[in-house]
Structure 1
Amino acid sequence: MTTPLTQDALMARVDSGNPVRNVSLTRGDYRGIALRNVRFENVQAQGARFDAAQLENIRWQRCALDGVVFEGASLTDVQFTNCRGDGMKFDGAKLMRLSVQTSSWPRVSFVRASICRLQVLAGSLVNVNWQGAQIERVMLRKTDLSAQTGVDTLFDRFLAFDCVATATDFRGAQFTHCSFARSDLQESCFDKASGRALALAGCNLDRSSFAGARLEHPMFNRANLGAASFRGAELPRARFTAAHGKAVDFCDADLSRADFSHANIEVADFAGARMQQVCLHGARFGEARWDGADLSGARGDDPKQLICERWSPPPRPRQPLPGETR
């Protein structure tokens, strides 16, 4: 077994001004260390302890970081590229301007962490725990977020595009101007979540649950609702434009001023729903249950608008080829 560098030996490497490469930090104790402007390359750091460390402008490239502990640490302007990080712990850490690229980080814990400006590109964050964290200005693209735990987490401007986030637990989470556009969220749980302007446009929400959620002006445009449940949810001004589904439960939901324009749902249960001033223009429901629903002020098809939507310009006459007479 290779002996890890001591904290003094690591500082000596750093002070030389050269990248720290091809060394072992495995199970090393670097708690409370302060590092700035350092590049780590091909470093084996499994199980190392960086609790309460101060890390600024650090680059980790092609490093093995499985089980590394950053609990209570402060990380600013830190970049991870092509790094493994199974089971890392950032509990209670303060993370500012982090970048994670083509890295695999399963089972990472961010419990009660404060995260601002995190960017993840083509990475894997499977089974990550965000519980109780405060997350602001995060962008994830083409990232695997399956089996996340975001219970009671604060999400502010959390943007996830084209991601896989199946079986994710967002119970009691708070969302402010967040988007999961075109992401796969099937079998996810948003029960009793709250917030405003949550965008789920183009998402796969089959068998997801929003029971008891309180979301102001959420956007489900073109989403696959599948067999989603919105039972008892408060969704004023929700947009379900062109959404589609097979068996969707809206029982006792607040859908006042919601827009179902051109929605296509095979079986929909609106029993007891509050649907004042809802827009049903162009909507199609194969089977719908309306028992006890309040549809006062609801608007159905607008014939003139349908004519405009279905209009197409006449075909243009074929232009003659050079030298061809009409």
Structure 2
Amino acid sequence: MTPEDLARRLRAGEPFAGKTITRFDLRGKQLGGARLRGAKLKDIHLDEADLAGSDLQDTQWFRCPLRGASLDRCDLRGATFTGSDLRGARLRGANLSGAKLLRANLAGADLAGADLTATLLLGADLTGARLTGAKLDRIRLDFAKLPGAELAGAVLQGASLNKADLTRALLRDARITGSTFYDARLGGADLGGATLEKVVLVRADLRGAILPKSMTRSVLDEARLDRPDLSGADLAASELDGHDLAGVELAGANLAGSSLRGTNLRNANLRGANLEQAMLAGCDLTGAELTGANLRRALLQGAILRGQRLAGADLEMTLLVDADLEGADLQGARLERAILDGANLRGADLTRALLLQTLLRGAALDGVILDKAIFDRVDLTGTDLQGVRLAGMTMTQCCFIEAKLAGMDLREADFTGSNFTRADLRGADLRSSVLTRATLMEADLARADLSGATAKEAFFGDAALAGARARDARLRRATFTRADLDHADLSGADLGDVVMRRARAARASFREARLAGADLSHADVSGADFQGADLDGANLHGLRDAEASWKGARLRGARRTDLDRLEAEAWSPPNEEPE
């Protein structure tokens, strides 16, 4: 059979299903509409041949040159090309789904609008190829060469382009979803207007590329970026860990839920950016523009924010553990339920800031400015506050457990409902402060001055108040069980209904104090001064008052020691004799 006979039979639509055709020269022949489904073609020369609209499903091509051939609208589903040269071939609108073109040469080929679903093009050469509007779902282009290829408007879903070369490729307006570009080269590529979602660009080279404005839930770990303009970009839930984005334009960008762990963002423009729930642990944000940025629930653990301008920022539930905020401007900032444990806030300005249920445990606060700041239910456990001005502050229901406040000026501060358990308040000046319903269990208040303070219903159980001054203090219904009040001065204090069971108040002064209804049972007031004190109805059972002065004291209705009760309290069962 001559090449002319074969060409005539193919043009006539004669079926060659399952046939093997070997060694024919059909270059430039008109073969449109051929029916070659399942055929095997070996060493067929088809350069410049026209096979448009042919049924080539499941065909097998071995060493068949197809340079410049027309395969427009052909059905090539499941076809296999081995050692084929398709340079400059036209495959517009062709269906190549499931086809295998391993290491095929398609340089300059036109595949516009083609269906390449699940097509295998591993190591193929598509340099300068045209894939505009092509469907590339689940395509395998690993190790493929696509420099200068046109993929504008292409759809890639679940595609694999690992280690592919897409240098200067045109991907404008492409829709790329769930695809991988590990170690891919995209230098100078145009992705403007493209939409990327769940795309993996680990170690990809994007230097000089025009990046898309939407890269949601994408992974860019170790990708190389050349100071791109990402202003207004949608990068929600993407991974940009460890990148150098110093000075990058990210104004108005959506980075909500994204991971930028350890990223260099020095001097980056993040004005108005959405960083809600973004992972920014260890980021360097020195000099970054954060005006109007949304940092709610952002994770900024160990981040560097020195000198940052965050005035009026909403930092609700933001994690700033061990963050460096030294000298930061946080005036009027909202820090509701924010976590700043171990943070460096030295010299920071929190004027008029709102701290509600905020955690500041172990934070460095030397020189911090808190003028008119509101503290409510703030946790300062273990924090050294000795370099902070707290006089006149309102810090209600705050936690100062084991906090360091020795020698501090706390005059006129309002600590209503706060917890000072085991806090160090030695020598602190608490004059005219408010400690109503505060807990000071085991607190060290030795030599502290509480004169004129209001501590109604406060709990001082086991507290150390030796040598403390509480002249004219309002301490009604406070509890001092087992507290150490030796040498304390409570002259003129209102101690009505206080509980001082088993307290030690040797040589303390209660001159003119009001102790009506107080419970001093089993207390030690040896050598104490009760001159002019009012103890009407007080419980003095078991009181140890050797050398105490009661001159002018009012004891009407006071309950003295009940000897029978005292004996009963001292009784203990005898040891049983061994049998």
Matched, 1:99 2:339: yes
Measure the CA separation in 1 of the matches of 2:397 and 2:573: 41
Deviation track 1:109-153 (CA, whole Å, cap 9, x = no partner) reads 433221111123444434544342222222233332334322333
Deviation track 1:29-52 (CA, whole Å, cap 9, x = no partner) reads 766655312222333345666566
Corresponding residue of 1:212? 452
Matched, 1:133 2:369: no
Corresponding residue of 1:256? 496
Corresponding residue of 2:174? none
Deviation at 1:72, TM superposition (A): 1.9
3-state SS, counterpart of residue 55 of structure 1 = coil
Question: For the structure 1 residues 65 and 228, does the alpha-carbon distance in structure 2 shift closer, same or farther, using more than 3 Å as the test?
Answer: farther
Deviation at 1:210, TM superposition (A): 1.4
Measure the CA separation in 1 of the matches of 2:516 and 2:257: 70
Alignment equivalent of 2:255, drawn from 11, 14, 30: 14
Measure the CA separation in 2 of the matches of 1:238 and 1:137: 21
Deviation track 1:202-245 (CA, whole Å, cap 9, x = no partner) reads 10011222121122211111100122111121111111111003
3-state SS, counterpart of residue 155 of structure 1 = strand
Equivalent position amino acid for 1:209 in 2: D
3-state SS, counterpart of residue 57 of structure 1 = coil
Paired residues of 1:13 and 1:20 also in contact (CA < 8 A): no
Alignment equivalent of 1:228, drawn from 468, 471, 478: 468
Alignment equivalent of 2:422, drawn from 182, 194, 207: 182
Question: For the structure 1 residues 267 and 145, does the alpha-carbon distance in structure 2 shift closer, same or farther, using more than 3 Å as the test?
Answer: same
Matched, 1:166 2:393: no
Measure the CA separation in 1 of the matches of 2:568 and 2:364: 45
Measure the CA separation in 2 of the matches of 1:51 and 1:312: 72
Matched, 1:25 2:266: yes
Matched, 1:116 2:356: yes
Matched, 1:36 2:276: yes
TM-score relative to the length of structure 2 = 0.49
Unaligned runs of 5+ residues in structure 2 are 1-243, 542-560
3-state SS, counterpart of residue 528 of structure 2 = strand
Equivalent position amino acid for 1:227 in 2: G
After TM superposition, the structure 1 = structure 2 runs for residues 38-57 of structure 1, keeping only pairs within 5 Å, are 38-46=278-286, 50=290, 53-57=293-297
Paired residues of 1:127 and 1:145 also in contact (CA < 8 A): no
Measure the CA separation in 2 of the matches of 1:21 and 1:245: 53
Alignment equivalent of 2:307, drawn from 46, 56, 67: 67
Measure the CA separation in 2 of the matches of 1:221 and 1:16: 47
Measure the CA separation in 1 of the matches of 2:404 and 2:249: 43
Paired residues of 2:479 and 2:498 also in contact (CA < 8 A): yes
Deviation track 1:84-127 (CA, whole Å, cap 9, x = no partner) reads 33333422221111112333433444332211111234444345
Paired residues of 2:265 and 2:288 also in contact (CA < 8 A): no
Equivalent position amino acid for 1:149 in 2: R
Alignment equivalent of 2:317, drawn from 77, 87, 91: 77
Paired residues of 1:48 and 1:67 also in contact (CA < 8 A): no
Measure the CA separation in 1 of the matches of 2:385 and 2:518: 34
Question: For the structure 1 residues 31 and 294, does the alpha-carbon distance in structure 2 shift closer, same or farther, using more than 3 Å as the test?
Answer: farther
Alignment equivalent of 1:203, drawn from 434, 443, 463: 443
Paired residues of 1:171 and 1:190 also in contact (CA < 8 A): yes
Deviation at 1:58, TM superposition (A): 0.8
Corresponding residue of 1:323? none
Matched, 1:238 2:478: yes
Deviation track 1:279-314 (CA, whole Å, cap 9, x = no partner) reads 211111243222222222222124456456545455
Unaligned runs of 5+ residues in structure 1 are 319-325
Question: For the structure 1 residues 195 and 52, does the alpha-carbon distance in structure 2 shift closer, same or farther, using more than 3 Å as the test?
Answer: farther
Measure the CA separation in 2 of the matches of 1:155 and 1:76: 19
Measure the CA separation in 2 of the matches of 1:105 and 1:21: 21
3-state SS, counterpart of residue 159 of structure 1 = coil
Deviation at 1:249, TM superposition (A): 1.2
Alignment equivalent of 1:156, drawn from 381, 384, 396: 396
Which shifted more, 249-258 or 183-192? 183-192
Deviation at 1:259, TM superposition (A): 1.5
Paired residues of 1:147 and 1:165 also in contact (CA < 8 A): no
Which shifted more, 198-207 or 43-52? 43-52
Q: Which has the larger strand fraction?
A: 1
3-state SS, counterpart of residue 340 of structure 2 = strand
3-state SS, counterpart of residue 249 of structure 2 = helix
Measure the CA separation in 1 of the matches of 2:457 and 2:307: 41
Corresponding residue of 1:293? 533
Corresponding residue of 2:522? 282
Measure the CA separation in 2 of the matches of 1:173 and 1:163: 16
Aligned length: 316
Structure showing greater radius of gyration is 2
